[in-house]
Amino acid sequence: MRELHPKDGLRGTLKVPGDKSISHRALLFGAIAEGKTQIDGLLPAEDPVSTANCLRAMGVSISPILKGQTVEVQGVGLDGLQEPNEILNCGNSGTTMRLLLGLLVGKEGRHFVLSGDKSLCGRPMQRVGQPLKVMGAQVQGRCDGNLAPLAVYGQKLHGAVIGTPVASAQIKSAILLAALTAEGPTTVIEPAHSRDHSERMLKAFGANLEVGGEMGRHITIRPGSTLKGQSVVVPGDISSAAFWLIAGVLIPNSEITIENVGLNPTRTGILEVMEQMQANVQIINKRDIAGEPVGDLRVTTHTGPLKPFTITHEIMPRLIDEVPILTVAACFCHGESYISGASELRVKETDRLAVMTRQLSLMGAKIDEKPDGLIVHGVTKLHGSKLDSETDHRVAMSLAIASLMAKGSSTLIQSEAAAVSYPDFWKDLEDLQH
């Protein structure tokens, strides 16, 4: 449990930890490459550690994941993963389970069981299992194969053309990983452009991958290339920077600079929403590092009323993980903000639409919950309350920022959930207060 008090003036310069999506991929692709992969800036948090431990259980040597230290992965090649003699524990991490499914379904003759915590065992996996079955995969699980624990029996796969029902980078990446060892080419067609870290990094590792079609939504892999170990530099996670961006704009007398943030255009939807709010965010020192755009972000407190905003399905894949903190921001905008096309939020680590509505309502927020979104009626003040992250890392950090803006103190139980993606969140918050 943590006590949170209203604050005036968050000031300072900080670096947020490495991007979670890129960290998972660097470990996974490094594991199936030939030779050594060196990763700088890897996120030292529970989710990537789950990925690393699963890979270790299949014979991949990975050096300890410690803050500020280069991580070395000794790749075993495309067919080198061994059958583990234990259940692969994916913890709380959807990315670990879904990408591993794609990686393992083509490992002929080997048997794998994947499981995770209570939240992960309640999240839909058919969305990955079903397209992989089109390629010849054998995946079984509870509720007709939809829920973990999942059993995979590796098969020789064949290439296919697969249209995914939702714009999900996890589904897309699982198919691309399976395609690396299938017979014949595989094309994934997405309904909208989801984050493209897999495409960028697989190409850099030497995969024969082509992006085409309308707005780059057709991705084709031709098997036959070997992946070669690389040097990967992981930028800071914009999904973690999001908490400071909103805090900096909302909390009086604040000025926060966040250095080295990944600015991949498939991830920067929050900056466009902040433009709608007429919030002051500056991008400084924009550059490219290891195939990803990076920059520093500076925010200062907004003077005058913040404008309410509208988020629809078109932008949703580019800010999917930022909806909880944007819901907090909406509470302080002058007018009604509309969030729609967000039904995917219901199958994240928690049902984030329900949990954010429930928790922020305890603080006096006025939110109407809809099947695929929220209408947030902006108010000028929230009041402190007894809050619960309900085990969700992004909810924990969003509620913390809301508490700093409230009248009176709050308590937050299960605040330790933040460690899934941002172990130093509470320390960084303290540092910004001095």
Which residues contact ligand S3P (rule: CB under 6 A)?
21, 24, 95, 168-170, 173, 194-195, 320-321, 344
Encoding tokens for residue 115? Answer: 């499981």
Which of 74/95 has CB closer to ligand S3P? 95
**C-beta of 39: minimal distance to ligand S3P in Å?**
15
Nearest-CB residue to ligand S3P? 21
Active-site option among 321, 392, 424, 428: 321
**C-beta of 24: minimal distance to ligand S3P in Å?**
6
**C-beta of 339: minimal distance to ligand S3P in Å?**
15
**C-beta of 205: minimal distance to ligand S3P in Å?**
17
Which of 7/25 has CB closer to ligand S3P? 25
Which of 175/256 has CB closer to ligand S3P? 175
Is 321 tagged catalytic? yes
**C-beta of 156: minimal distance to ligand S3P in Å?**
26
Which of 120/279 has CB closer to ligand S3P? 120
Instruction: For residues 224 and 221, give the distance between their C-alpha atoms in angstroms, rounded to a whole number.
Output: 10
Which of 196/428 has CB closer to ligand S3P? 196
Which of 21/220 has CB closer to ligand S3P? 21
**C-beta of 92: minimal distance to ligand S3P in Å?**
11
**C-beta of 230: minimal distance to ligand S3P in Å?**
18
Long-range contacts of 126-133, Cβ-Cβ distance < 8 Å, separation of 24 or more: 127/164, 127/165, 127/166, 127/168, 127/171, 128/98, 128/101, 128/102, 128/170, 128/171, 128/174, 129/101, 131/162, 131/164, 131/171, 131/174, 131/175, 132/101, 132/102, 132/105, 132/157, 132/174, 132/175, 132/178
Backbone angles phi, psi at 97, to 5 degrees: -65, -45
Which of 296/322 has CB closer to ligand S3P? 322
Q: Which residues are catalytic?
A: 321
